[in-house]
Each structure stands twice: as C-alpha cells, then as structure tokens.
C-alpha cells in the first residue's frame, strides 16, 4: 500500500494519501488545506484519486475539498451526521476563523461498517466514533487505523465544540478502537503516529 502523509492548513492537520500499488488508484483522507501541496504529492506519486474522505466536518479537515475535487474529479465521502458541515461555514467553524469556506456536498454518505474499496488491494472499514463531532469516523485497513480527531498520541479530540461529548468520545475509543490488537498503528488527525497498545497503557484520558 502506498501511504504518504503531510501537515496541511493553519492548524497543522494531518492529510494522508493512500493508494493501491497494483492499480494506482488512491484516496485522500482529510485534505484540510494546502491544496497545492496535496496536489503536488498526488502528482509525484502518480496516482489517480477516486475518493476524498473526511473523518469529520471541521474546517481543518475539509478545507481543500473543493480544490481537490475540481482537480481530480474524486468523490467526497463523509458520515451522514457531519454532512451538513461541508456546506455550512458556521457548522464547519470556518466562519469563526474569519473565513467562510465551504466544500461541495458529499457524493456518498458513510455509515458504521461500510467498506470503501480503493483499487484492488485496499479495503477501508468505516468505524463511527462520535464524540469529537456527531459524525466522526475512523478508517481501518490491515494493521492501520486513521483516527481523525478521535484519538491522538497521548490525548483525545476536543469535546467542547457544538455536537461534542466527552462521555461519548471515551465510549467510542474504548469500544471501537481499544478492541484492536496492541500493534495496530494509529495515524491521527494531528500529531505523530502511535499504536493502540501504547494508548491503552499510557494515554491519561483512557
């Protein structure tokens, strides 16, 4: 599997490009900004982007949706409970950052348990993990979880935004992430990668 990450936007969110080495079909996870840098990475990898997947609808994870869709024609995917954030600057918080940024509406709404197939070798399982936002998701493939803003190295996502819930987020992590083996690698929406085992043992919130 092709896997490359880069920090994007003013809040240094992690954007990931994953691709099938057999077909060179790819998905971009959380293009939160820096559209030109993401497009340069896509070009350098020589992949064709089929999907833009948002782990949730906050501006730092959707900010470059429009530019990427215009450049690649990729489908935008997001959980149904966060779909309205794409087209509403108040809901995605860009309005409160002095901007008014929207994304095109989703081409496909996601639900817990859905499988997103990228090329012939990658299957991403959608894991609904509300708490940071109502429609927050993680994506599981092989020995990897892309955790969005659900779980960070040594921390968890904020729950003080509208639609957030600390109790819900902790339950999501305990029931839907910590159920995996210790050696599963977690690629979060901000900060460095970690593992399920490290977080299980050392994360002060858990």
pLDDT of residue 128: 98
* Helix (H), strand (E) at residue 19: strand 13-19
- List the one residue out of 117, 152, 11, 161 whose CA is nearest residue 177: 152
Domain that includes residue 114, residue range: 2-202
Q: Which residue has the tokens 């959980």?
A: 79
Low-confidence ranges of the chain (pLDDT < 50): none
d(CA 19, CA 116): 12
pLDDT of residue 100: 78
pLDDT of residue 98: 65
pLDDT of residue 157: 97
CA 33 to chain centre: 13
Say which CATH number the domain at 88 has. Answer: 3.60.15.10
pLDDT of residue 90: 86
pLDDT of residue 93: 72
pLDDT of residue 94: 73
Q: Judging by beta carbons within 10 Å of its beta carbon (0-12, 13-18, 19+), is residue 189 exposed, middle or buried?
A: buried
Spell out the residues 6+ positions from residue 175 whose beta carbon is closer than 8 angstroms to its own: none
Count the domains in the chain. 1
Tell me, what DSSP letter sits at residue 34?
A: -
What distances in angstroms separate CA 24 from CA 2, 69, 74, one per listed residue?
9, 18, 14
């Amino acid at each position: 599997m092709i896997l490359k990450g880069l920090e994007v936007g003013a809040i240094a969110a992690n954007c990931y490009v994953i691709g099938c080495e057999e077909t060179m079909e790819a998905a971009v996870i959380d293009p939160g900004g820096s559209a030109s840098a993401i497009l340069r990475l896509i070009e350098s990898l020589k992949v064709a982007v089929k999907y833009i997947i948002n782990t949730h609808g906050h501006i730092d994870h959707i900010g470059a949706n429009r530019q990427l869709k215009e450049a690649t024609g990729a489908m935008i995917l997001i959980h149904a409970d966060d779909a309205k954030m794409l087209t509403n600057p108040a809901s995605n918080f860009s309005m409160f950052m002095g901007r008014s940024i929207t994304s095109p509406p989703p081409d496909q709404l996601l639900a817990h348990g859905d499988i997103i197939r990228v090329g012939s070798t990658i299957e991403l399982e959608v894991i609904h993990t509300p708490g940071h936002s109502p429609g927050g998701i993680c994506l599981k493939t092989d020995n990897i979880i892309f955790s969005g803003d659900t779980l960070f190295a040594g921390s968890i996502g904020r729950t003080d935004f509208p639609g957030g819930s600390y109790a819900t987020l902790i339950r999501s992590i305990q029931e839907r992430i910590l159920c995996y083996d210790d050696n599963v690698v977690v690629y979060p929406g901000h900060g460095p990668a970690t593992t399920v085992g490290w977080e299980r043992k050392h994360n002060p919130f858990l």
